[in-house]
Structures are given as structure tokens and as C-alpha cells.
Amino acid sequence: MPRHKVLEIVTEGVPEHRAVQAWLQVQPDSCAPRSLELLQRRRHSTVYRLNKVRSDGTSVIAKRCRAATARKERMIYQELLPLTGMPALDCYGTVREPDADFCWVFLEDATGASYSPQLPGNRALAGRWLAETQLAAASANFQSCLPDRGLNDYLQALHGCRAMALRHLDANELPAADAELLRKVATYMDGIESLWNEIGEICVVMPRLLIHGDFVIKNIRIRETAAGAALLVFDWEFAGWGVPAADLAQFTDRVATPDLNIYCSTLRRAHPHLNLRDIQAVAACGNLLRMVDQIGWITAGSEFVPPQKLAKVIAALGCYEASMIESLRVFRMELT
């Protein structure tokens, strides 16, 4: 079965590790794991696997994140996803760290098959799952419980990306190749902003709905159930409410690429004005918004770092250049 890439294995001081101590507050009768696996480290979140700590020998995912994020994720797992009638991961509970604005969230380890957007059956599952989850969230009025993620959020991220690139270019302290890449990034951001009115006009057809925010293959598993294959979706850190264009993105940056025909036919139960052509156009916008998000995450906090500490940022940006070019090309084709 697939597993997250392990960044580090912790074997020393495991019983005293704060992830283990927090888990024991949720399940006091659990045994301490022999090891922890560090699976993810972001600016404001860290994810571990606690190996074989449950009574049935299964592992638990421990996520340390901001308290607001923890509240949001717990609500989604425990209150929203059960409303869909589809399988979902269990959330075992949360524990707030003393004297800190951080919490631990404890989740079922998402075992199952890898998701592949190259498989039509997987894409069909994703299209139905996304629409059904959005419909359930709207029916239960979850909008008030989630942060707003309107188009203005993406525009602010775009401005931040460009400001970072231009500041380092103005400093004139980068190697020529790095400077050229940042110049291209700024140009791509200019290109996306020049299309902002068109993006807004296209997206206005869509209702405001639940947004996962990082609907990509690493956050999805396929589990076989008595009723057939089911999607398990996790990592709701960037979830919000708005136009779900980025969740509909197609074949760029490891996105889920949900089947848009199935998505549209499911969503039309509540929004009969939608048609497949509308959804395809919104998905083309989503390709661009996904790039803005991804580059925003890469460059966050980098505007004022010294140039010698930009190596990882520059390398990551280089990996996304082709996707930026292709996303702009696809969108411009939608306008013709």
C-alpha cells in the first residue's frame, strides 16, 4: 500500500516526544510507538506517523498545526464528511499545546491504493466525490464555519509572488540564471493579472462552494469497500469557501483532475443552470489559480531573505515554469 515519503525516522526519545505525549491525552491506554515518521514539514504545520499505537495495531497520523486550522479540520472530518454518506477518515481528537496557538490533530492513517489522474475510473470517483461533498457542505450551511477564499485571495498571493521576485531582482545580487528565472516568474504573474477580468467573468457562473485547497494526488487514497472503490481525501489545511476553480484544475501540478462531466452532472442537482462548457472554462481558470497558490506557498517569507538562502526557492520555481507556461496557453485557448 502507498505511504507518504518519509522525511525522517525518529527512534530516540520517542515516549517523551510531544506528538506521543499529546496522543496519550487522547488515548491514555495506548502504548508509546517504537518510532515516529516525519511525513511533512510546512511553515505552520508538521505531520508525523505514530506507528502501531492503536489496540488493533494500526498507526495514527499526528498533525501539529495552528489552533484555527485544527478546529477547521476536526469539524470537516467529524461533522461535514459524515453528511456525504461516503467513506471518510476518522478523526480521533485534538489536543491544544499549553501556552501556544498550536494544536495536535489525530487522524486515521489513510491506507489504500494510490490515486492516478491517468485512470478514468479514479477521475470519475474524484468528480463525484468533490460535487457530493460540496453539495453536503452547502446544504448544511458550512459557509459560516470556513474562511473566505475568494478570487481576491489569489490576487493578493500573486502580488506577493511578484513583489518577492522584483525585490531580489532590484537588489541585483543573484547569479544571472537565478535572476532570469525570477524575471520570468514576474512576467508570468503579470500575464495572469492581465487576464484577471476574464477570470472573474468566467468564474461568476459558479456558486460559492466548499474548497479543499490542495486537491492533489498526495492527499487522496482509493479504498475498496463492500460498495466498491471509494475516495479518501485528507489534508484540509487550506480549505475554505469560494469558487472551487483550483480544485477543478486539469492535468497540471499533480492535481486530482476530476472528471468534469461527472462533476457537472452531480452539481446540477442543486445548480441546474451549469453546463459542461461552463465547468471546463472554470477549470482552465483553476489551472492558473493553482499555479498562483503553488508559487505563493514556495515564495512565502522569501522576500527579505538573503540571496544565498534562495537556492531551494529558485529550484522549486524552476520546476513549475513549464506548468505556468502551459496553464497560460490553455487559458488563452479558452478565450478564443
Position 1 pLDDT exceeds 50: no
Nearest to 171 by CA among 24, 327, 310: 310
CA distance 55 to 29: 9
pLDDT band for position 4 (cuts 50, 70, 90): low
> Can you state the angle between helices 176-194 and 311-335, rounded to 10 degrees?
30
Average pLDDT (92-105) is 92
Quick: pLDDT tens for 27-73. 998 888 888 999 998 888 999 999 988 888 889 999 999 999 999 99
Which pLDDT tens digit goes with each residue over 297-325?
999 989 889 988 899 999 999 999 999 99
Amino acid at 41: R
Encode pLDDT of 233-285 as tens digits: 999 999 999 999 999 999 998 999 999 999 999 999 999 999 999 999 999 99
Domain ranges in the chain are 8-108, 113-153+163-335
Mean pLDDT computed over 101-113: 95
Residue indicated by cell numbers 487522547: 26
The stretch 108-119 carries a mean pLDDT of: 95
Give the confidence band of 189 by pLDDT, cuts at 50, 70, 90.
Answer: very high
Question: What percent of the chain is modeled with pLDDT above 70?
Answer: 99
Using a pLDDT cut of 90, give the percent of the chain over it. 84
Give pTM, 2 decimals: 0.93
Is residue 17 within 8 Å of residue 10, measured between CB atoms? yes
249, 225 Cβ separation under 8 angstroms: no
Question: Measured between alpha carbons, how far is 168 from 317 in angstroms, rounded to an integer?
Answer: 14
Residues in the chain: 336
> Beta partners for 114?
221
- What mean pLDDT value characterizes the chain? 94
In the chain, DSSP assigns E strands to: 8-10, 36-41, 45-50, 60-66, 91-96, 102-108, 113-114, 209-211, 220-225, 228-233, 240-242
Choose which CATH entry (1.10.630.10, 3.90.1200.10, 2.40.30.10, 3.60.15.10) describes domain 113-153+163-335. Answer: 3.90.1200.10
Amino acid (one-letter) located at 228: G
What would the pLDDT profile of 193-217 be if each residue is shown by its tens digit?
999 999 999 999 999 999 999 999 9
CATH 3.40.50.300 fits 8-108, yes or no: no
Neighbours of 206 (CB within 10 A): 20
Residue at grid coordinates 505514530:
50
Angle at alpha carbon of residue 296, lines to 333 and 163, rounded to 5°: 95
What distance, in Å, lies between the first and last C-alpha atoms of the chain? 44
CA separation for the pair 123, 322 (Å, rounded) = 23
CA separation for the pair 131, 192 (Å, rounded): 27
Q: Are 39 and 49 in contact (CB under 8 A)?
A: yes
